[in-house]
């Protein structure tokens, strides 16, 4: 295969980045609403991993004990606990 798919994929990511950086506040709030999140609320789950580093405190995210069988300190639940 002579086509460099890695470079093409990076180009795609850059185009999608452009979409995200250009998203309006309204679009962000709508998407958060779809997930049952309210970023205006203090302690909103939308900011976990952003303004709150729970991993540094416990070595894991809520929803998974650090010593969970088969889990690592980097895994967390897929579901939004607020929904």
Partner 1 sequence: MPSRWNLDHLMEIPPELPKTPAAQALALKVVTGMDLLRLKAVARLYARGLPPEIGWSDLLQEAFARMLDGSRKCPDGLGMVVFLSGVMRSIRTEHCRRARKRASRLPQMLAELGLADNPEGEAGDPAPDPEQNLIAMQLLAEVYRLFAEDPRALRVIEGLFEGLEPEQIRMKYDLSKTDYDSTRKRMRRALLREGLRWGGHDN
**Residue 67 interacting with partner 1 (CB under 8 A):** no
**Residue 52 interacting with partner 1 (CB under 8 A):** yes
**Residue 38 interacting with partner 1 (CB under 8 A):** no
Q: Judge whether 34 and 48 are in contact, CB under 8 Å.
A: no
Closest approach, Cβ 29 to partner 1, in A, equals 8
**Residue 69 interacting with partner 1 (CB under 8 A):** no
Terminal CA-CA length for the chain: 45
**Residue 41 interacting with partner 1 (CB under 8 A):** no
Of positions 51, 67, 69, 70, contacts partner 1 by CB under 8 A: 51
CB-based burial label for 41 (10 Å; 0-12, 13-18, 19+): exposed
């Amino acid at each position: 295969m002579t086509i460099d798919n890695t470079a093409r994929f990076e180009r795609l990511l850059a185009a999608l980045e452009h979409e995200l950086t250009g998203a309006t506040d309204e679009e962000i709030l709508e998407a958060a609403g779809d997930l049952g999140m309210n970023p205006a609320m203090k302690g909103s789950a939308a900011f976990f991993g952003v303004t709150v580093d729970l991993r540094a405190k416990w070595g894991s995210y809520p929803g998974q004990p650090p010593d969970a069988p088969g889990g690592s300190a980097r895994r967390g639940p897929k579901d939004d606990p607020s929904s």
